[in-house]
Structure 1
Amino acid sequence: MTQVFFYHNASDRIAAAVALIGKAFAQRKAMLVYAPAAEVAAALDRQLWMHPPAGFVPHVDINSPLAGETPVLIASTLESAPQDERLLNLSRDVPPGFSRFASLIEVVSQGDEERADGRKRARFYKDRGYDIRYLDCSGNA
């Protein structure tokens, strides 16, 4: 069953996601990022170019010819996902087909609307029997 992790209280959702992606990359773990909103995907792409300040996290769009050899993929759909290990959700909704992934990572900021969306997703997972681990990132990004 998919492990679900909720990182909540992020002061900046994209910065928190970038920090989590950076940690996964440092541990040589592939990450698929579901970002169906073009502005969210673009913001993530920009921040991944700058984080860490003295390094680089290789990432491309899932449709790139380099997708097969790049550890971090940004996807607007999950239909042709090349891996099913880690999914980071930057959508406001439950990602379609999330249950095929070994782990699902949700990042929720401190904004009222985003917290409400996060609660809906958490309720959805809980109602279906998924165990959720909550991690407070208010001391971080």
Structure 2
Amino acid sequence: MASAARLLPMTEVTFYLSSKVGEGVRQALAWRIADKALKQGRQVYVHCQNEAHARQLDAQFWQSPPTGFLPHALSSEGQAPVLLGFGDDPGHQHDVLINLSDGVPDFSSRFQRVAEMISGDEAERQQGRERFRFYRDRGFPVTTHELG
């Protein structure tokens, strides 16, 4: 009798949409989603555009919001429940990916969940539409949440 192949669950993709425009909107959304995931006991990898972006986000996560704390680290400098990284290797992470890059990371399908942050900026919305089509055209289950 042939053994059945073990099917891995399909990566779930959620787009979080904000009507707010301005620098830092996507980063603030990322903090909010990472905090929620952390409270659910999940491990989070925040994929940044490049090293400078990861370091900027690291500084921002230490400063705001003033009433909250999100245990995080740069993936190249340590371990934490929330890792900030860039490039092609998210390490051993495979739970929640928060994508802050302009494209779809090659490794996104190895995560259980992917969160895409979209602000009200028209250029960001257009890039978000392209990522949405990428996921949808490859059969990923995609949902959207309007956050105001």
TM, length-normalised to structure 1 = 0.87
- Secondary structure, counterpart of 1:53 in structure 2: coil
Q: Is the 8 A contact 1:59 1:74 kept in 2?
A: yes
Q: Is the 8 A contact 2:19 2:120 kept in 1?
A: yes
1:30 to 43, 51, 64: 43
CA RMSD of aligned residues (A): 1.6
| Corresponding residue number in structure 2 for 1:5 | 14
Which has more radius of gyration? 2
Separation of aligned partners in 2, 1:24 and 1:101? 14
Residue 46 (structure 1) shift: 2.2
Separation of aligned partners in 2, 1:75 and 1:10? 26
Residue 72 (structure 2) pairs with residue 59 (structure 1): yes
Question: Relative to structure 2, which stretch is displaced further, 43-52 or 95-104?
Answer: 43-52
> Structure 1: which 5+ residue stretches go unaligned?
none
Q: Is the 8 A contact 1:18 1:47 kept in 2?
A: no
Separation of aligned partners in 2, 1:30 and 1:14? 18
CA separation of 1:50 and 1:90: change in aligned 2, threshold 3 A: same
Percent of aligned positions with the same letter in both sequences?
36
AA aligned to 1:3 is E
Separation of aligned partners in 2, 1:103 and 1:40? 22
User: How many aligned positions are there?
Assistant: 135
| Corresponding residue number in structure 1 for 2:121 | 111
CA separation of 1:86 and 1:110: change in aligned 2, threshold 3 A: same
Q: Is the 8 A contact 1:51 1:57 kept in 2?
A: no
Q: Is the 8 A contact 2:50 2:87 kept in 1?
A: no
Question: Relative to structure 2, which stretch is displaced further, 51-60 or 129-138?
Answer: 51-60
Q: Is the 8 A contact 1:31 1:87 kept in 2?
A: yes
- Secondary structure, counterpart of 2:128 in structure 1: helix
- Secondary structure, counterpart of 1:130 in structure 2: coil
